[in-house]
Chains A and B, each alone.
Chain A
Amino acid sequence: MQQYNRKNSILIADDDLDDCYLVEEALCESGLNFNLSFVHDGIELLQYLRQLGSHAGSQPVHRPDLILLDLNMPRKDGREALAEVKADPNLRSIPVVVLSISSADEDILRTYDMGGAGFIVKPTNVSDMVEILRVLNEYWFEVVELSGVEHMNRNLNN
């Protein structure tokens, strides 16, 4: 397994505050060590990634290593946001994993069709969420190499 110099980061887009809290609680319980940030709809997600609106000039400039995306959100939903991220040459290399209460075949198929890198059905309890965070952490931050200048250190350290 690899050693990193910097903390990995996950950006969560979810309008449900209870669900955001569940993830925070699970992260705390898991003992895993990565940065977690939240946005609450598709518009805020795009603003965060492009550093516009309320996220203009935000410091430090931070590009998430992984995005966890809810599908049903107000203003701009996860489907639209995913299509926009994957159509943007500056953003499309960021892996986006859908985390939704939906388990509809159509939502699953469409997520992959638009370039989603996974579809996870949202758990309702902390222990299931802990397990999901562990596996996400293992796959995205230990098993695979991520792209971007920020990650160059990893390859040198292997």
Chain B
Amino acid sequence: MSKNAKPVVFLMADDDPDDRLLIKEAFQESLITNTIFFVEDGVELMDYLHRKEKYKNPGDSPMPDLILLDLNMPRKDGREALAEIKSDPHLRYIPVVVLTTSKAEEDIMRSYDIGAAGYITKPVTFDGLVEAIKGLKRYWVQIVRLPAIDVAKE
């Protein structure tokens, strides 16, 4: 089914432990098996992407094919992290989809403006979340070709 040679690796940045758990369960519910890793704020996200601190080992923290990004997080929020990723020549090829409770037009506009490849407002029900994750996967895993990481690293 997948258009991509390798399983797609997702990385989610979200400070809310309940939301992380829900996303994890929604990924399991949505049948397509992919790997999802979690970080808890923008600082951790950038450490992960730059392989710093506890993310040194590529085996435990592989480069993601797609980032799911919450906007409101402590230390470094999603807006700052998105801007940093999209201005970094070594990272900007990674698609970033915002997944947040914010429905503010300003957040939507600004996210696309700085390079988001989608903006999802967190559905209020678990079923709604599963549907959103299924739609996300059908697009990014089944229809779209993602960059081959080996090529990107050169």
Given A113-B93, A143-B132, residue A121 in contact with residue B117 (CB < 8 A) = no
A131 cross-chain contacts in B, Cβ below 8 A: 143
Q: Complex: how many Å from CA A52 to CA B135? A: 36
Quick one: which of A109, A112, A143 contacts B118, CB cutoff 8 A? A143
- Total count of chain A residues near the partner, CB < 8 A: 39
Per the CB 8 Å criterion, the residue count for chain B at the interface is 37
* Complex contact B138–A138 (CB within 8 A): yes
Q: Which residue of A lies closest to B132 (CB)?
A: A143
Name which residue of chain A comes closest to B95, CB basis: A112
The answer on a CB contact under 8 Å between A105 and B121 is: no
- On whether the beta carbons of B113 and A136 are closer than 8 Å, the reply is no
Q: Is A58 part of the contact surface with B, judged by Cβ < 8 Å? A: no
Instruction: Choose from A89, A135, A147 the contact partner of B108 (Cβ within 8 Å).
Output: A147
Task: Tell me whether B144 and A115 are in contact (CB under 8 A).
Answer: no
Pick the contact of B139: A93, A139, A146 (CB < 8 A). Answer: A139
Q: Let me know if A108 and B147 touch, CB within 8 A.
A: yes
| Chain A residues at the B interface, C-beta cutoff of 8 Å | 1, 89, 92-95, 97, 103, 105-106, 108-109, 112-113, 115, 117-121, 131-132, 135-136, 138-140, 142-149, 151-152, 155, 158
A105-B151, A108-B145 known; 19 other A-B pairs, CB under 8 Å?
A1-B131, A89-B113, A92-B112, A94-B112, A95-B117, A103-B145, A105-B148, A109-B147, A118-B95, A118-B140, A120-B145, A138-B135, A138-B138, A143-B131, A143-B135, A143-B139, A147-B108, A147-B113, A158-B103
